Amino acid sequence: MSKLLIVGTVAFDAIETPFGKTDKILGGAATYISLSASQFGVHSGIVSVVGGDFPKSYLEKLNSKNINTDGIEIIEDGKTFFWSGKYHNDLNSRDTLITDLNVLANFNPVVPESFKDADFLMLGNLHPSVQMDVINQLPKKPKLVVLDTMNFWMDNTLKELMEVIAKIDVITINDEEARQLSGEYSLVKAAQKIYTMGPKYVVIKKGEHGALLFHEDNVFFAPALPLEEVFDPTGAGDTFAGGFIGYIAKTGDVSFENMKRAVISGSNLASFCVEKFGTERMENLQQSEIQQRLLQFKQLTQFEIEIN
Amino acid sequence: MSKLLIVGTVAFDAIETPFGKTDKILGGAATYISLSASQFGVHSGIVSVVGGDFPKSYLEKLNSKNINTDGIEIIEDGKTFFWSGKYHNDLNSRDTLITDLNVLANFNPVVPESFKDADFLMLGNLHPSVQMDVINQLPKKPKLVVLDTMNFWMDNTLKELMEVIAKIDVITINDEEARQLSGEYSLVKAAQKIYTMGPKYVVIKKGEHGALLFHEDNVFFAPALPLEEVFDPTGAGDTFAGGFIGYIAKTGDVSFENMKRAVISGSNLASFCVEKFGTERMENLQQSEIQQRLLQFKQLTQFEIEIN
């Protein structure tokens, strides 16, 4: 059984969409990534930090899905990272209302001994110095290191981010971020430029328009499943990343052919994430639902045509 | 050999993109549709109107591709429809600088006798009253009637447009237009609403994000090919429609399975159209290039995954 190490935020979110709003609920990149990866039965562990206000029941919820939380430091007299946002009517854009870093402000990640030999490493979206610190704590390079990041780190900590990018195998960013990072408008050219920074694989997420996987001269496209209702997009990108690395960790296969299946798996899981507020849908997701939707992805994309 | 009747504009375009600008060049929906459909060796005929200023050489160019121009009325003392536009830096949006309807303002379409038994009818984007006039001139309903239209007609001639929509089999519109026509934001719900207006098939074009084909509870997605350079998007939607109906006319098969191949063929041809100014790329396109790119579409979309 492969071991998957995940570093990222574990947080409280308060979310407002056109369909309703929540109080403080469970959120954070590492939470979504681990819940998504847990669908593949992999043994995963989170490195993160929370405050004394973080309910034990949330940790137990993760543990019940075979997610090890020994690497989640609890600062008893601190408060958990809190994010609040409000989505616009089209759900494609949002305003951040509150970002209280709290215990995240001085986070020094510690990889538990039992995960120092992780086969796979998923660096969720947070400060690149924290990501680098985790990379440096592993005595042996994992089989695959996947980085998720965002424009905030490109704007504010580009030097540190570039040092992390130089050390990873796969980067997942959205289309605007790929353009910002590369200075190229064409996503094909952007991916080629990003190869030169380190990653051999570039995954460009386009939200409701799907995701592109680039490797050398190859490109593969996974659509988003057209849905009748999108309820709350929070965590969709992290869920995609968790499905991607979860599928790879389960299969242990880092070939391009298998990464195609991994991006389909990521899109598949993300399509569930957006159907309810927060992590609710991911917590109660059944294997039969995932398999049924895989069939929909095949019907959505597969065709036979004669080529002369 | 199937006969394909195409109604639409034949025009002069003057185009400005970040990469350069043109004088008045050959343009118009029927032009792009017919050039695209001609790749499938179908026998097509255009119903349109031009002025005395329209070069005979342009008509001969179309004739050389087995496109019948007997239905293109020439108003000797009139001027050809002229459109001028300037694209923004991202090429996803444009400003119309000039729209001189000229001879199009009083166009009374006349279907040539030799095309009254057309097997397939493509109603290119123009006034719905002209589209309806052409439908009414055909003694027998073709095997498939495809309508392309745009928001301008929804804004200004909705009643006439709805009468046309009630009579057709396939509608092709972009995502924003689908939302406007249906009042639904979700494209799945939009397609379902549009079914109730008449069409059994709904094709939603998303430009660089591909196209969706809806029929009953089925949905199929054709991505746009990720390109290193997009030079001029003019005519891409018409070229897509021409590739769609051209493939169907060639195969004579109006099943959903075959329509999947048709939307892939449309995306394929549109990917060439945008590589040069105006019709240039479409005029010199080789079968071997099309076949080569079909292979790229397969590589871009096809995957094997175990479903339990």
Residue A154 burial (CB < 10 Å; 0-12/13-18/19+)?
A: middle
Q: What was the pLDDT predicted at A90?
A: 83
pLDDT per residue as tens digits for the range A149-165: 999 999 999 999 999 99
Nearest to A261 among B223, B227, B303 (CB): B303
Res. B152: pLDDT tops 90: yes
The shortest C-alpha distance from B248 to chain A (Å) reads 13
The shortest C-alpha distance from A30 to chain B (Å) reads 26
Q: What was the pLDDT predicted at B55?
A: 98
Query: Is B117 in a helix, a strand, or coil?
Result: coil
| Mean pLDDT of the region A262-283 | 97
Residue B305: its chain A contacts at CB < 8 A?
A: 261, 264-265, 294, 298
CA-wise closest residue to B109 among B94, B96, B127, B92: B127
Q: What was the pLDDT predicted at A89?
A: 85
Q: What was the pLDDT predicted at A152?
A: 95
pLDDT per residue as tens digits for the range B234-260: 999 999 999 999 999 999 999 999 999
| Mean pLDDT of the region A298-302 | 97
Contact A131, A165 (CB under 8 A): no
Residue A229: its chain B contacts at CB < 8 A?
A: 186
Residue ranges of domains in chain A:
3-301
Nearest-angstrom CA–CA distance, A289 and A279: 16
The shortest C-alpha distance from A219 to chain B (Å) reads 6
Give the nearest chain B residue to A206 (CA atoms): B209
Res. A243: pLDDT tops 90: yes
Nearest-angstrom CA–CA distance, B40 and B242: 10
Nearest to B294 among A187, A228, A307 (CB): A307
CA A69 from chain centre, in angstroms, equals 17
| Other CB atoms within 10 Å distance of the CB of residue A255 | 11
Contact A266, A240 (CB under 8 A): yes
Does A299 contact B189 at a Cβ distance shorter than 8 Å? no
| Mean pLDDT of the region A239-245 | 98
| Other CB atoms within 10 Å distance of the CB of residue B7 | 27
Q: What was the pLDDT predicted at B308?
A: 86
Q: Which residue has the tokens 């959120």?
A: A27
Buried b (16+ CB within 10 A) or exposed e, A275-285: bebbbbbbeeb
Q: What was the pLDDT predicted at B258?
A: 98
Q: What was the pLDDT predicted at A64?
A: 97
Contact B72, B60 (CB under 8 A): no
Nearest to B226 among A187, A264, A307 (CB): A187
Nearest-angstrom CA–CA distance, B164 and B33: 19
Nearest-angstrom CA–CA distance, B168 and B135: 9
Q: Using 50, 70 and 90 to split pLDDT, how confident is the model at A63?
A: very high
Res. B224: pLDDT tops 90: yes
Nearest to B226 among A188, A291, A304 (CB): A188
Please, what is the average pLDDT of chain B? 97
Query: Is A8 in a helix, a strand, or coil?
Result: coil
Q: What was the pLDDT predicted at A249?
A: 98
| Other CB atoms within 10 Å distance of the CB of residue B300 | 21
Nearest-angstrom CA–CA distance, B129 and B211: 27
Q: What was the pLDDT predicted at A308?
A: 86
Does A261 contact B220 at a Cβ distance shorter than 8 Å? no
pTM, rounded to two decimals: 0.95
Q: Using 50, 70 and 90 to split pLDDT, how confident is the model at B282?
A: very high
Res. A121: pLDDT tops 90: yes
Give the nearest chain A residue to B261 (CA atoms): A305
Model ipTM value? 0.93
Please, what is the average pLDDT of chain A? 97
| Mean pLDDT of the region A249-262 | 97
Contact A267, A242 (CB under 8 A): no
Nearest-angstrom CA–CA distance, B19 and B89: 9
Phi, then psi, of B123 in degrees rounded to 5: -90, 100
Res. A93: pLDDT tops 90: no
CA A13 from chain centre, in angstroms, equals 16
Does B303 contact A230 at a Cβ distance shorter than 8 Å? no
Residue A257: its chain B contacts at CB < 8 A?
A: 303-304
Interface list for chain A against chain B, based on CB atoms closer than 8 Å: 89-90, 185-189, 206, 209-210, 212, 218-221, 223, 226-230, 257, 260-261, 264-265, 287, 291, 294-295, 298-305, 307-308
Strand spans (E) along B124-247: 144-148, 170-174, 201-205, 211-215, 218-222
Nearest-angstrom CA–CA distance, B230 and B144: 32
Q: For chain A, how far is it from start to end, CA to CA, in angstroms?
A: 45
Contact B134, B109 (CB under 8 A): yes
Q: What was the pLDDT predicted at B171?
A: 98
Nearest to A291 among B89, B260, B307 (CB): B307
Angle at A241 between CA A240 and CA A245, to 5 degrees: 120
Q: What was the pLDDT predicted at B91?
A: 86
Q: Using 50, 70 and 90 to split pLDDT, how confident is the model at B89?
A: confident
| CATH fold of B3-301 | UDP-N-acetylmuramoyl-L-alanine:D-glutamate ligase (3.40.1190)
Q: What was the pLDDT predicted at A1?
A: 79
Q: What DSSP line would sit under A266-301, residue for residue?
A: HHHHHHHHTTSSTTHHHHT--HHHHHHHHHHHHHHH
| Mean pLDDT of the region B184-207 | 97
Does B229 contact A295 at a Cβ distance shorter than 8 Å? no
Q: Which residues neighbour A66 within 8 Å (Cβ) at sequence distance 6 or greater?
A: A38, A41, A42, A43, A44
Integer-rounded Cα Rg, in Å, for chain B is 18
Q: What was the pLDDT predicted at B1?
A: 79
Contact A167, A198 (CB under 8 A): yes
Greatest pairwise CA separation for chain B in angstroms: 69
| Other CB atoms within 10 Å distance of the CB of residue B192 | 17
| Other CB atoms within 10 Å distance of the CB of residue A160 | 16
